[in-house]
Amino acid sequence: MAGKKSARTESRRELLHQMLRIRRFEERCVELYSGEKIRGFMHLYIGEEAVAVGVCHALAADDVVVSTYREHGHALIRGVPATTIMAEMYGKATGSSRGRGGSMHIFDAAHRFYGGNAIVGGGLPLAVGLALADRLRGRRRVTVCFFGDGAVAEGEFHECLNLAALWRLPVLFACENNLYAMGTALAKSHAQTDLALRAAAYGVAAWPVDGMNVLEVTDAATRAAEAIRAGAGPHFVELRTYRFRAHSMYDPDRYRSKAEIEEWKKRDPIDALVAVMKEDREITDGDLTVLEKEIAAEIEQAVDFAEQSPLEPVADLTRFVYSERPAASGGANAASSEAAS
């Protein structure tokens, strides 16, 4: 019994650690954005941390994650170093995309993290393609595709659900339903607001989950991942969550009331897990202080790394944009002469 409790405690500590890392990382990004260190668009995940942490906790290192433009948390939990992510936010050459993508285009193939995609629903066909490749090669991997409730209104959502079900692809569709997409209430854009029910119409195993409870998310994602790995085909989890911040740093957030936001904050996933752990005597205030200091040190190291990193040289502006075909053995003039003859 003691061994089981210890394993449970360690698992919960890891979940808490990762949620706090995401929250504190993004809070620091807000400060840096206000100081014009980070520019361009930036979409925060604050309030939704239980989704990324719970789902990714159920994955193996070789599984694949495809994300959205609200992806800092997904990248962190998948093991992309905070230094690399912060450098990308700064637009520095040491970033995950050499500073060319910024906040919305974090990418790290070594950590099986395939974006960061700015197009709403744009990750869905990528996930289906990756899963199809795994199936054709007989690899027992799971591809997780994160997307928001707004993507359910896109054509590729229906195309991808249909193909995944038809070909029984190993995809876990993780719908982060935060109720407002970019800024329109779900009930004002969807005739059927039960998104899990819409996925089930394609023959996909689907169910809703309390996305503010990291323990429930972890259980649901583990159940889905195990079934997918066993050959049960695609699964869909509707993670009912809420973002505490506006859609983006440019969003005035006038489409919902402050009272509603404050009501949702009472269900903060970090506070909820801390309360459970304290009740079960698995963590103390002293433990939390140590954890916060550890995370703060990691984030400041990431900021220092980004500050000291170089910008990409102007001479490299066209690198990775145009392909370079080697000249023929006879040279460009010889090739032109052959074409003329």
pLDDT 10s per residue in the chain (341 long)? 567 778 999 999 999 999 999 999 999 999 999 999 999 999 999 999 999 999 999 999 999 999 999 999 999 999 999 999 999 999 999 999 999 999 999 999 999 999 889 999 999 999 999 999 999 999 999 999 999 999 999 999 999 999 999 999 999 999 999 999 999 999 999 999 999 999 999 999 999 999 999 999 999 999 999 999 999 999 999 999 999 999 999 899 999 999 999 999 999 999 999 999 999 999 999 999 999 999 999 999 999 999 999 999 998 888 888 777 776 654 444 443 333 33
Asked if residue 327 belongs to a domain, the reply is: no
Asked if residue 195 belongs to a domain, the reply is: yes
> What integer pLDDT is reported at residue 322 of this predicted model?
76
> What integer pLDDT is reported at residue 337 of this predicted model?
39
CB 114 within 8 A of CB 74: no
Please provide the DSSP assignment of 55-81 as one string: HHHT--TTSEEE--SS-HHHHHHTT--
> What integer pLDDT is reported at residue 340 of this predicted model?
38
Query: What domain range is 30 assigned to?
Result: 2-316
Place of tokens 């197009």: 119
Q: How many domains does the chain have?
A: 1
**Rounded to whole angstroms, what are the CA distances from 210 to 214, 215, 231, 293?**
8, 9, 26, 30
Asked if residue 336 belongs to a domain, the reply is: no
Neighbours of 300 (CB within 10 A): 12
3-state helix, strand, coil in the chain (%, to 5): 50, 10, 40
Asked if residue 325 belongs to a domain, the reply is: no
Asked if residue 335 belongs to a domain, the reply is: no
> What integer pLDDT is reported at residue 333 of this predicted model?
44
Asked if residue 302 belongs to a domain, the reply is: yes
> What integer pLDDT is reported at residue 255 of this predicted model?
95
> What integer pLDDT is reported at residue 5 of this predicted model?
74
Asked if residue 178 belongs to a domain, the reply is: yes
Phi/psi of residue 173, nearest 5 degrees: -85, 115
Rounded Cα distance, 246 and 181, in Å: 11
Three-state SS string across 3-21, please? HHHHHHHHHHHHHHHHHHH
83-101 burial code (b ≥16 CB/10 A, e <16): bbbbbbbbbbbbbbbbbbb
Asked if residue 330 belongs to a domain, the reply is: no
CB 176 within 8 A of CB 69: no
CATH code, 91? 3.40.50.970
